[in-house]
Structure 1
Amino acid sequence: MQIDINIIYYFEKSIFVIDPTLKIDETTQSQIRRHSALIEFMDTHCHARAYSFQIKKCNNPTCPYCKPIRLPSQEFHDLSFLPDPIPSQENTDHYAAFQSANAEPIPKSILVVGKIRGYIDCEDCKKRRCVYSDKFLNSDEQQDFQQVLESYSYSCGAPIFPDDHYLKEVVFVRTRINCDSPIEVLYYSSRKSGNYPICYYCGESEGLVAPPESLKQRFKQIYPLCEMCIENRKGFHTKGEIKTNGRASKRRKT
């Protein structure tokens, strides 16, 4: 496939905006790692895999690179990077179709705060993920569940149980996530034992920063943010803009 030279030119031009010290012939990882500005951008905006390289706006209002998002805030945060390829269950010599790999097999009726039964930590990124079930587990199911947790390592986007385990159709975690996905917003509404404040972006419980009063006056929900994520140019994730008296009176007039 022939590549348009103009596309390459504009791509190079964009990279030089991020890090003007980069040279066009520096293409190896060891060379790129010396450019801190580019590495910081990749850590906060990019998703690199063996078969793909994806870029997404960070939605930080102080970001010098990203223009403001045009989607509704919640829709933007629901967007995730493309999932990693997974083998097809029908034919392990091929990868599963995108619709299959990206589908959330859990019924939406289960993905509610009242059906959170616990939490599980990712072995790779250490973020906490919610564990859902349509019913409370009995003592035998609880014991079998704990045995699985002790026997297997969990990673974001993967199911908890092997395909042949009976609890696979009883206990769930979200699978349309990866290690770059933020903490589920339902986590912050859960009153399940073991819940404590963690950073919305990285899951860290230490070094959380108090939101400014200006945000408290504008939004009903402000999710925790840690010092490290602030240094990485993340901003407070918010939800539910508070209607001001001025706006309310304006609507009444119309």
Structure 2
Amino acid sequence: MNRLLELLKVIDGDVEFDGKNLTKLKSQHIDRFLAKHARCRHYIYQKCVADDCAYCTINPPRIPEELFKELYFVPDSTVNANGYTPFDELYGTETDDSGRPSLTLKPQSTAKVRGFVHCCECGKRRVVYSEKRLCPQEEKSLIRVQEELLFVCCAVLFPGGQYQDIIIVKEGQCCSSPIEVTYYAGKTMVFDQICIHCGNIDVVETEHTRELQEQFGIVRPICQTCLNANRPVITRNALKTKNKKNKT
């Protein structure tokens, strides 16, 4: 991290970095540098080949200069009338990632829930989505990811390869994120009840949760540990109650 801070100070000598979270950096100089010299996409982050790059000045390329100057950004997937444009036709041109296959998928749809996978860091279950039911080979690949502890929250389930945009998990989740509501939907698959906050399989029912069940159509499971930590019981769909007057 100290080395990273040294590199950042080459661009902006006044920048402050806590060594933990790059997203909290506030520097117009660094923002302008990244806008000019880098390209960030969903699956890839690339560095430029510009001659006036401060980073390249102190960390020169390790390949011959004549080859380095012939490099371009890796192009994005681009849709045409016949499918996707070949790589050799796109290389060296300006593209965007609007044609990324996963943009056309809507993993939040409960009709596409196909299973779940455990994060190897936090242990929470993350729902797996696919347009079609998984075939035996796809199920084996998913099992392999689980057995070899290859998945962590915020990561792509199958980075690269044939399943990258076919078998997916919801984007933007981190280890602190709660269990997805689609886990509990039970339309295409029915899973065990687990705590919505931490994923603990030992959920409890208390007098308070029973009272909430009379007031709401949905009361999410919670464990005793989260109750003791004053985590809230998640509810949805308040029931309409009518006061009935006794006829005399």
Q: Shorter chain as normaliser: what TM range?
A: 0.5 to 0.7
Determine which of 114, 138, 152 is the counterpart of 2:111. Answer: 114
Cα separation, partners in 2 of 1:87 and 1:50, compared to 1, 3 Å: farther
Normalised by the length of structure 2, the TM-score is: 0.55
Normalising by structure 1, we get a TM-score of: 0.54
Deviations 1:86-144 (A, max 9, x none): 998241589xxxxx9xxxx5546442222111110111111111000000122233333
**2:121 match:** 124
Q: Provide the rounded CA distance (Å) in 2 between the counterparts of 1:212 and 1:142.
A: 36
Instruction: Tell which structure's C-alpha radius of gyration is larger.
Output: 2
Q: In structure 2, list runs of 5 or more residues that go unmatched.
A: 1-18, 25-39, 49-54, 56-96, 244-248
Is the 1:114–1:190 Cα contact (8 Å) retained in structure 2? no
2:184 to 175, 179, 188: 188
User: Structure 1 pair 49/209, CA: closer, same or farther in 2 (3 Å)?
Assistant: farther
- Please give the root-mean-square deviation of Cα atoms over the aligned residues, in Å: 3.3
* 1:14-33 equivalent positions in 2, closer than 5 A: none
Alignment correspondent of 2:194: 198
Q: For the residues of structure 2 that align with 1:117 and 1:202, how far apart are their CA atoms?
A: 21
Describe the shift of the 1:227–1:124 C-alpha distance in structure 2 as closer, same or farther (beyond 3 A). same
Amino acid at match of 1:91: Q
- SS of equivalent residue, structure 1 residue 117: strand
Structure 1 segment 52-201 matched on structure 2, within 5 A: 89-91=44-46, 105=102, 107=104, 109-163=106-160, 165-190=161-186, 195-201=191-197
Q: Does 1:50 align with 2:34?
A: no
Other structure's SS at 1:228 match: helix
- Cα offsets for 1:27-58 (capped at 9, x unmatched): xxxxxxxxxxxxxxxxxxxxx943468xxxxx
Instruction: Report the Cα offset of residue 194 of structure 1.
Output: 6.8
Are residues 112 and 162 of structure 1, via their aligned partners in 2, closer, same or farther at CA, if it must alter by over 3 Å? same
Number of equivalent positions: 160
In structure 1, how many angstroms separate the alpha carbons of the residues matched to 2:142 and 2:238?
40
CA distance in 2, matches of 1:217, 1:244: 10
Higher normalized contact order (CA 8 Å, seq sep 6+, divided by chain length): 1
Q: Tell me how far apart the structure 2 counterparts of residues 222 and 195 of structure 1 sit (CA, whole Å).
A: 16
Distance 1:86 1:125, change over 3 A: farther
Distance 1:196 1:91, change over 3 A: same
Alignment match, 1:216: 213
- The whole-number CA distance in structure 1 between the counterparts of 2:122 and 2:231 is 17
Residues 87/174 of structure 1: CA separation in 2 closer, same or farther (3 Å cut): closer
